[in-house]
Protein backbone atom coordinates (compact mmCIF):
# COMPACT_ATOMS: atom_id res chain seq x y z
CA UNK A 1 0.00 0.00 0.00
CA UNK A 2 1.36 3.41 -0.98
CA UNK A 3 1.77 6.09 1.69
CA UNK A 4 1.02 9.78 1.30
CA UNK A 5 4.04 11.99 0.61
CA UNK A 6 2.64 15.14 2.26
CA UNK A 7 1.48 15.62 5.86
CA UNK A 8 -1.67 17.29 7.15
CA UNK A 9 -0.85 20.95 7.86
CA UNK A 10 2.05 21.03 5.38
CA UNK A 11 2.25 23.86 2.85
CA UNK A 12 2.60 22.69 -0.77
CA UNK A 13 2.74 24.25 -4.22
CA UNK A 14 -0.29 23.27 -6.34
CA UNK A 15 0.19 23.05 -10.12
CA UNK A 16 -3.15 22.55 -11.91
CA UNK A 17 -3.24 20.57 -15.12
CA UNK A 18 -4.12 21.89 -18.59
CA UNK A 19 -7.72 20.70 -18.17
CA UNK A 20 -8.20 22.93 -15.10
CA UNK A 21 -8.02 26.48 -16.51
CA UNK A 22 -9.91 28.03 -13.58
CA UNK A 23 -7.76 26.48 -10.85
CA UNK A 24 -5.35 28.88 -9.17
CA UNK A 25 -1.73 27.82 -8.91
CA UNK A 26 -0.01 28.68 -5.66
CA UNK A 27 0.52 27.77 -2.04
CA UNK A 28 -2.03 25.54 -0.35
CA UNK A 29 -2.21 23.75 2.98
CA UNK A 30 -2.94 20.02 3.22
CA UNK A 31 -6.24 19.60 5.11
CA UNK A 32 -6.87 15.88 4.63
CA UNK A 33 -5.22 12.82 3.10
CA UNK A 34 -7.74 10.99 0.95
CA UNK A 35 -7.79 7.37 -0.23
CA UNK A 36 -7.37 6.62 -3.90
CA UNK A 37 -7.92 3.61 -6.12
CA UNK A 38 -4.83 4.48 -8.14
CA UNK A 39 -1.17 5.04 -7.28
CA UNK A 40 -1.71 8.80 -7.48
CA UNK A 41 -2.98 9.50 -3.96
CA UNK A 42 -5.39 12.36 -3.31
CA UNK A 43 -5.57 15.25 -0.87
CA UNK A 44 -8.03 17.91 0.24
CA UNK A 45 -6.14 21.22 0.15
CA UNK A 46 -6.99 24.82 1.07
CA UNK A 47 -5.63 27.92 -0.64
CA UNK A 48 -3.41 30.10 1.55
CA UNK A 49 -4.54 33.09 -0.53
CA UNK A 50 -8.33 32.89 -0.56
CA UNK A 51 -9.34 29.88 1.57
CA UNK A 52 -10.84 27.93 -1.36
CA UNK A 53 -10.70 24.15 -0.88
CA UNK A 54 -10.31 21.51 -3.56
CA UNK A 55 -9.46 17.84 -4.08
CA UNK A 56 -6.19 17.19 -5.95
CA UNK A 57 -3.87 14.37 -6.96
CA UNK A 58 -0.44 14.00 -5.36
CA UNK A 59 1.22 14.44 -8.77
CA UNK A 60 -0.15 18.02 -8.87
CA UNK A 61 1.69 18.98 -5.68
CA UNK A 62 5.30 19.79 -4.91
CA UNK A 63 7.19 20.43 -1.71
CA UNK A 64 7.91 24.06 -0.79
CA UNK A 65 11.10 23.19 1.08
CA UNK A 66 11.91 22.79 4.77
CA UNK A 67 9.08 23.68 7.11
CA UNK A 68 8.90 24.04 10.85
CA UNK A 69 5.77 22.67 12.44
CA UNK A 70 4.99 24.47 15.69
CA UNK A 71 3.42 22.80 18.65
CA UNK A 72 1.84 24.87 21.35
CA UNK A 73 3.30 24.49 24.82
CA UNK A 74 1.31 24.92 27.97
CA UNK A 75 2.23 28.11 29.78
CA UNK A 76 3.63 27.44 33.24
CA UNK A 77 3.51 30.22 35.84
Distances 9 to 43, 69, 72, 76 between C-alpha atoms, Å: 11, 8, 14, 27
Record the pTM: 0.77
Domain boundaries, the chain: 1-52
Which pLDDT belongs to residue 44? 97
Enumerate residues 6+ apart whose C-beta is below 8 A from 6. Answer: 12, 30, 33, 43, 58, 61, 63
Mean pLDDT on 51-71: 81
Q: In this predicted model, what pLDDT tens digit does every residue of 8-48 receive, in sequence order?
A: 999 999 998 888 888 888 999 999 999 888 889 999 999 99
Amino acid sequence: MTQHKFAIGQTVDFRPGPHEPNANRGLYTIRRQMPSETRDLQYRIQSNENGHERMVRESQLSDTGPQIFRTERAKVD
